[in-house]
Amino acid sequence: DADVTQTPRNRITKTGKRIMLECSQTKGHDRMYWYRQDPGLGLRLIYYSFDVKDINKGEISDGYSVSRQAQAKFSLSLESAIPNQTALYFCATSDSGQGATEAFFGQGTRLTVV
Protein backbone atom coordinates (compact mmCIF):
# COMPACT_ATOMS: atom_id res chain seq x y z
CA ASP A 1 0.00 0.00 0.00
CA ALA A 2 1.11 3.53 -0.74
CA ASP A 3 2.35 5.68 2.12
CA VAL A 4 0.19 8.58 0.94
CA THR A 5 -3.15 7.64 -0.56
CA GLN A 6 -5.46 9.96 -2.44
CA THR A 7 -9.06 9.24 -3.32
CA PRO A 8 -10.52 9.45 -5.86
CA ARG A 9 -7.78 9.11 -8.47
CA ASN A 10 -9.95 10.60 -11.17
CA ARG A 11 -13.13 12.62 -10.97
CA ILE A 12 -15.34 14.47 -13.38
CA THR A 13 -17.81 16.87 -11.84
CA LYS A 14 -20.15 19.60 -12.96
CA THR A 15 -19.79 23.31 -12.40
CA GLY A 16 -21.30 24.35 -9.09
CA LYS A 17 -21.03 20.97 -7.43
CA ARG A 18 -19.29 20.44 -4.12
CA ILE A 19 -16.49 17.93 -4.20
CA MET A 20 -14.09 16.55 -1.64
CA LEU A 21 -10.68 15.07 -2.30
CA GLU A 22 -9.31 12.88 0.44
CA CYS A 23 -5.80 12.11 1.55
CA SER A 24 -4.54 9.67 4.14
CA GLN A 25 -1.01 8.80 5.14
CA THR A 26 0.79 6.08 7.02
CA LYS A 27 4.11 7.93 7.31
CA GLY A 28 3.32 9.27 10.77
CA HIS A 29 4.21 12.77 9.57
CA ASP A 30 2.69 15.78 11.24
CA ARG A 31 2.74 18.10 8.23
CA MET A 32 0.38 17.71 5.30
CA TYR A 33 -0.07 19.75 2.15
CA TRP A 34 -2.34 20.13 -0.83
CA TYR A 35 -0.82 21.22 -4.14
CA ARG A 36 -2.34 21.86 -7.50
CA GLN A 37 -0.55 21.21 -10.80
CA ASP A 38 -1.41 23.02 -14.00
CA PRO A 39 0.46 22.58 -17.28
CA GLY A 40 3.41 24.94 -17.50
CA LEU A 41 3.00 26.20 -13.94
CA GLY A 42 4.49 23.46 -11.85
CA LEU A 43 2.88 22.72 -8.51
CA ARG A 44 1.39 25.46 -6.37
CA LEU A 45 0.46 25.25 -2.72
CA ILE A 46 -3.22 25.46 -1.80
CA TYR A 47 -3.23 24.75 1.94
CA TYR A 48 -0.96 23.22 4.52
CA SER A 49 -1.37 21.92 8.04
CA PHE A 50 1.19 21.53 10.81
CA ASP A 51 -1.12 19.41 12.92
CA VAL A 52 -4.80 18.83 13.54
CA LYS A 53 -5.35 22.28 15.01
CA ASP A 54 -3.17 24.23 12.63
CA ILE A 55 -4.38 25.04 9.12
CA ASN A 56 -2.76 27.62 6.88
CA LYS A 57 -3.53 29.10 3.51
CA GLY A 58 -1.07 28.66 0.71
CA GLU A 59 -0.49 30.60 -2.47
CA ILE A 60 -3.83 29.79 -4.14
CA SER A 61 -6.40 29.02 -1.44
CA ASP A 62 -9.36 30.95 -2.90
CA GLY A 63 -12.20 28.62 -3.80
CA TYR A 64 -10.87 25.81 -1.60
CA SER A 65 -11.23 24.70 1.99
CA VAL A 66 -9.57 21.92 3.97
CA SER A 67 -10.17 19.76 6.98
CA ARG A 68 -7.59 17.92 9.06
CA GLN A 69 -9.71 15.23 10.62
CA ALA A 70 -6.80 13.42 12.22
CA GLN A 71 -3.05 13.47 11.97
CA ALA A 72 -3.27 10.98 9.15
CA LYS A 73 -6.13 12.56 7.18
CA PHE A 74 -6.31 15.83 5.27
CA SER A 75 -9.22 16.60 2.96
CA LEU A 76 -9.56 19.28 0.31
CA SER A 77 -12.98 20.62 -0.63
CA LEU A 78 -14.18 22.64 -3.56
CA GLU A 79 -17.41 24.20 -2.31
CA SER A 80 -18.64 25.17 -5.75
CA ALA A 81 -16.44 23.77 -8.46
CA ILE A 82 -15.62 25.88 -11.52
CA PRO A 83 -13.93 24.85 -14.78
CA ASN A 84 -10.64 26.61 -14.03
CA GLN A 85 -10.22 24.29 -11.04
CA THR A 86 -9.64 21.50 -13.51
CA ALA A 87 -6.16 20.29 -12.59
CA LEU A 88 -4.07 17.54 -11.09
CA TYR A 89 -4.13 17.69 -7.29
CA PHE A 90 -1.45 16.28 -5.04
CA CYS A 91 -1.41 15.65 -1.33
CA ALA A 92 1.97 15.53 0.39
CA THR A 93 3.39 14.92 3.84
CA SER A 94 6.62 15.82 5.54
CA ASP A 95 8.21 15.46 8.93
CA SER A 96 8.79 18.44 11.20
CA GLY A 97 11.97 16.97 12.60
CA GLN A 98 15.30 18.68 12.23
CA GLY A 99 16.34 19.16 8.65
CA ALA A 100 13.98 19.21 5.75
CA THR A 101 13.24 15.73 4.64
CA GLU A 102 11.73 15.33 1.25
CA ALA A 103 7.99 15.60 0.88
CA PHE A 104 6.17 12.37 0.13
CA PHE A 105 3.47 12.72 -2.47
CA GLY A 106 0.30 10.84 -3.16
CA GLN A 107 -0.38 9.56 -6.65
CA GLY A 108 -2.52 12.55 -7.53
CA THR A 109 -6.18 13.18 -8.24
CA ARG A 110 -7.09 14.28 -11.73
CA LEU A 111 -10.12 16.54 -11.42
CA THR A 112 -12.14 17.76 -14.38
CA VAL A 113 -14.88 20.35 -13.91
CA VAL A 114 -17.27 20.53 -16.85
Partner 1 sequence: AQKVTQAQTEISVVEKEDVTLDCVYETRDTTYYLFWYKQPPSGELVFLIRRNSFDEQNEISGRYSWNFQKSTSSFNFTITASQVVDSAVYFCALSEAGSARQLTFGSGTQLTVLP
- Residue 38 or 79 having the CB closest to partner 1: 38
**Rounded least distance, CB 81 to partner 1, Å:** 21
Interface residue with partner 1, options 12, 14, 44, 80 (CB under 8 A):
44
> What share of residues in the chain are helix, strand, coil (percent, to 5)?
5, 55, 40
Residue 12 burial (CB count, 10 A) = 12
Interface residue with partner 1, options 23, 33, 72, 85 (CB under 8 A):
33
Q: Compute the distance between CA of residue 74 and CA of residue 83 in angstroms, rounded to an integer.
A: 23
Window 45-64: residues binding partner 1 (CB under 8 A): 45, 48, 50, 56, 58
Listed in sequence order, the DSSP H helices in the chain are none
Q: Compute the distance between CA of residue 84 and CA of residue 62 in angstroms, rounded to an integer.
A: 12
Residue 103 found at the interface with partner 1 (CB under 8 A) = yes
Name the residues that contact partner 1, by CB under 8 A: 31, 33, 35, 40-45, 48, 50, 56, 58, 88, 90, 92, 94, 96, 99-105, 107-108, 110
